[in-house]
Amino acid sequence: MSSRVEPQQSAPTPADFSFDLTHRQGAGTVEAADGRPLGRVGVIHTPHGDIQTPAFIPVGTKATVKAMLPETVAELGGQAVLANAYHLFLQPGSDIVDEAGGFGKFMNWHGPTFTDSGGFQVMSLGVGFKKVISMTETAHAEADVIAKNKERLAHVDEDGVTFKSFINGDTHRFTPEVSMGIQHQLGADIIFAFDECTTLLNTREYQEDSVDRTERWAVRCLDEHARQTAARQHRPYQALFGVVQGAQYEDLRRKAASGLANLRGETETEQMFDGFGIGGALEKSMLGTIVGWVNEELPENKPRHLLGISEPDDLFAAIAAGADTFDCVAPSRQARGGTMYSSSGRINAKAAKQRRKFEPLDPECDCYTCANYTAAYLHHLFKANEMLASTLATIHNERFIVRLVDQIRESMIDGTFVELREDVLGRQGKL
């Protein structure tokens, strides 16, 4: 992790945030219509340090990466942490985090930080949908039943979203201005515009309306971001990313991306986005294609963050299509349930065959867990319901994904991207 950087005393400006594209990778990556390769390596410069890209960003939903110390996240190679605006707004309250000096200081993390807008959580928790990348026919049917039988806890209108807290049922309202205010209080280096996150169940007509509404909300986010930045000159500059929606429709994705790329706020500052997020519902098989559509339209001199992925095959596909950073709760969530990544595919730490395996869970892994503990001991911890199981398992999973993306970055610099992809995915049976 980068060395600690104290917030500057001068007034914050967009110049405090930048992105340098340092390498292009042609072989094995997506090629744009104009012939340029989309795969790339770069550096994001923030007030609290640099992020070497491509990079996986561990998720600390409530200002904590579950089961781990912040120091451990840094030791395993995490360059930044992402927290959730929705959850921190509900508990402990963004005003408390602001008084603490921002969520990085609140949780004793001194490197770069991200917060999402809360848009996905407002909709997914309110409507009853979970994070869905691959929507099979069965999943569509199950989601339809949920939608029909579950009281909707979130309601979208032109101004914003009214929703009920999943904690106690209290009613709240998020608008673009409210989301910007919350995220400025949370104090992350990179924040996201408030968007409407649709599902694959929504009609084409609704997706069109949603893309247009998200762009109108984006203008309001730019204006409120400029106002908050001017009013909070005691804090470092926060980079604002616009979020590209459009589901699986090429024309909508390209329209959304090009629209956000050229969008300016309506205030005198004419604020533009500092980077871009790629979100929304999509089927797993379409991930690389959709990211490629979007990145053909986005400017090359600004970073692109793909929201919510961490599977090895998805990472290779997204990086080949030009995505720079990623976040996902899956490595820590699956670890707490005993599902472990490994060089040969998934491992169930609770399975009986691990009971007498007196060697590392993954002999090729360099994490703290694999260096010091056996698969048998981890199996015992899970079976005994010991808290240490979650800690050791999470260290392994987070290190595995962080290290994999680091290896992909290195392979793009030395020209071995194709060989690495074939080796990693071949051994995991994902080719």
Please list the pLDDT of the chain residue by residue as tens digits (431 residues). Answer: 444 444 445 678 888 999 999 999 888 999 999 999 999 999 999 999 999 999 999 999 999 999 999 999 999 999 999 999 999 999 999 999 999 999 999 999 999 999 998 877 666 654 444 444 334 444 444 444 444 444 556 788 899 988 888 788 888 899 999 999 999 999 999 999 999 988 898 899 999 999 999 999 999 999 999 999 999 999 999 999 999 999 999 999 999 999 999 999 988 778 999 999 999 889 999 999 999 999 999 999 999 999 999 999 999 999 999 999 999 999 999 999 999 999 999 999 999 999 999 999 999 999 999 999 999 999 999 999 999 999 999 999 999 999 999 999 999 999 999 999 999 999 999 88
| Cβ atoms 30, 38 nearer than 8 A | yes
Residue 116 is a catalytic residue: yes
Q: Minimal CA–CA distance to 419: which of 427, 407, 411? A: 411
**pLDDT at position 112, please?**
98
* Angstrom distance (rounded) from CA 3 to CA 111: 7
**pLDDT at position 198, please?**
87
Phi/psi at 167 (5° precision): -80, -50
List 50, 116, 274, 362, catalytic entry: 116
Q: Name the residue type at position 34.
A: D
**pLDDT at position 168, please?**
83
* Angstrom distance (rounded) from CA 215 to CA 252: 12
Q: How many residues does the chain have?
A: 431
**pLDDT at position 281, please?**
86
Residue ranges matching CATH 3.20.20.105 in the chain: 16-328
Q: Which fold would CATH assign to domain 16-328? A: TIM Barrel (3.20.20)
Which residue matches tokens 């793909």? 306
Q: Which residue pairs from 158-166 have beta carbons closer than 8 angstroms and sit at least 24 positions apart in sequence?
A: 158/213, 158/216, 160/194, 160/217, 161/119, 161/122, 161/123, 161/126, 161/196, 163/122, 163/125, 163/126, 164/126, 165/90, 166/90, 166/125
**pLDDT at position 147, please?**
45
List 189, 274, 324, 327, catalytic entry: 327
* Angstrom distance (rounded) from CA 97 to CA 247: 34
* Angstrom distance (rounded) from CA 76 to CA 62: 20
**pLDDT at position 353, please?**
97
Residue 313 is a catalytic residue: no
